[in-house]
């Protein structure tokens, strides 16, 4: 186990018949972070979570939670882990508070003398104190989701694992859950959030991992994942041919007759708009945006618009997975 990691997996693999649902995944989740586990639906996120929590056996590889090997130390680790996986399930004709009382009493690690106070505190933390006496069958989907998070918070947790925690929530409920997750991290709890919603991971998390077709394709601080994307310029001009020659001279676009560069399509011409990658060609120094404009003006190119665009987080993740992400609920 590596020091400083709340979750660590090595070579984690799960086969269903001949199909590898999770393939050689190596996660490294630092303590005290909000870690986004991102990927399109069907990419292997929930299967990975089930193996982390001992709910499914791995075909190969190792799992360590909070410095303990799973599933061998499961009974020692799980009391320190709260989880909401594949949606909450409750007794529909009991109230929210009664459900939490029953669930807490089923835990051999809970303290009966503090149960009432802990249930009340958990309901307050997820904004359900006003509905504590209401039967769960009358709860909205978002309310049930928050009740599931309340159940995970009935006891102090070192690690909280949330599978699609904002599923079904309205905008206000989503903000409440987001703020709750941040507050838990500030208190020292590691929060592992699985989601297919890019916007939620972007606003909630400090670290992220990206899954695609069962494989881990990227991992690290969210800021580094953003910076790994490409930068491009967008030029609006009526002098497309002349502009293209200037960009080619700067190594930013293919020049006339250069078949290899043409094939690379480093610059794309669309009407009066040219889009080109800012990365310099091999053997040439990087070019600053202001120098590009100066060269264009010097060559007599009329510049009607000029912008430098960094690849968005959405663009970066789509490039990694080859699939789209939901960016809003």
Q: Where are the domains of the chain?
A: 5-222, 231-310
80/285: higher pLDDT: 80
If pLDDT is split at 50, 70 and 90, which confidence band does 228 have?
low
Does the global pTM surpass 0.75? no
Q: Taking 70 as the threshold, does the pLDDT of residue 3 lie above it?
A: no
Q: Taking 60 as the threshold, does the pLDDT of residue 257 lie above it?
A: no
Q: What share of the chain is helix, strand, coil (3-state, %, to 5)?
A: 35, 25, 35
Does residue 193 sit in helix, strand or coil? Answer: strand
pLDDT, tens digit (0-9, with 9 covering 90-100), for 281-305: 444 556 788 889 999 999 999 999 9
What stretch of H or E contains 109?
A: none
Any idea which of 90-104, 269-283, 303-317 has the lowest mean pLDDT?
Answer: 269-283
The whole-number pLDDT of residue 321 equals 67
- CATH number, domain 231-310, options 3.90.550.10, 3.40.50.10310, 3.30.70.100, 3.40.50.300: 3.30.70.100
The CATH code of domain 5-222 reads 3.40.50.300
Interatomic CA distance for residues 215 and 210, integer angstroms: 8
Q: Taking 60 as the threshold, does the pLDDT of residue 260 lie above it?
A: no
The whole-number pLDDT of residue 188 equals 85
Choose among 199, 304, 195, 299: nearest CA to 246: 299
If pLDDT is split at 50, 70 and 90, which confidence band does 111 have?
confident
Q: Taking 90 as the threshold, does the pLDDT of residue 10 lie above it?
A: yes
123/165: higher pLDDT: 123
What is the average per-residue pLDDT within 212-241? 84
* pLDDT above 70 coverage of the chain, percent: 84
CB within 8 Å of 194: residues ≥ 6 apart = 37, 38, 45, 46, 49, 161, 162, 163, 164
Mean pLDDT rounded to a whole number for the chain: 83
The whole-number pLDDT of residue 159 equals 94
């Amino acid at each position: 186990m590596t020091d400083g990691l709340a979750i660590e997996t090595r070579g984690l693999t799960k086969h269903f018949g001949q199909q590898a649902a999770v393939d050689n995944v190596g996660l490294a989740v630092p303590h005290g972070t909000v870690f986004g586990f991102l990927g399109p639906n069907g990419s292997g996120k929930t299967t990975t979570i089930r193996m982390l929590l001992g709910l499914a056996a791995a075909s190969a590889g190792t799992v360590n939670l909070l410095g303990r090997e799973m599933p061998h130390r499961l009974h020692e680790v799980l009391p320190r882990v709260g989880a909401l996986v594949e949606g909450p399930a409750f007794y529909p004709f009991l109230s929210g508070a009664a459900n939490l009382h029953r669930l807490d009493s089923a835990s051999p690690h809970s303290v009966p003398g503090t149960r009432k106070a802990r249930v009340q505190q958990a309901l307050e933390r997820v904004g359900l104190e006003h509905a504590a006496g209401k039967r769960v069958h009358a709860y909205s989907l978002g309310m049930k989701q928050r009740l599931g998070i309340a159940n995970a918070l009935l006891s102090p947790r070192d690690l909280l694992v949330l599978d699609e925690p904002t599923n079904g929530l309205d905008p206000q409920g989503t903000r409440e859950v987001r703020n709750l997750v941040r507050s838990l991290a500030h208190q020292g709890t590691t929060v592992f959030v699985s989601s297919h919603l890019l916007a939620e991971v972007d606003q909630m998390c400090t670290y992220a991992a990206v899954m695609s077709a069962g494989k881990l394709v990227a991992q690290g601080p969210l800021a580094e994942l953003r910076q790994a994307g490409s930068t491009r310029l967008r030029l609006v001009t009526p002098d497309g041919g002349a502009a293209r020659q200037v960009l080619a001279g700067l190594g930013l676009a293919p020049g006339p007759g250069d078949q290899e560069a043409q094939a690379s399509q480093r610059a794309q011409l669309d009407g009066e708009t040219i889009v080109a990658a800012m990365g310099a060609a091999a053997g040439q120094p990087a070019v600053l945006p202001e120098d590009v404009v100066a060269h264009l003006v010097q060559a007599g190119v009329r510049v009607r618009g000029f912008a430098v665009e960094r690849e968005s987080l959405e663009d970066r993740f789509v490039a990694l997975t080859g699939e789209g992400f939901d960016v809003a609920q």
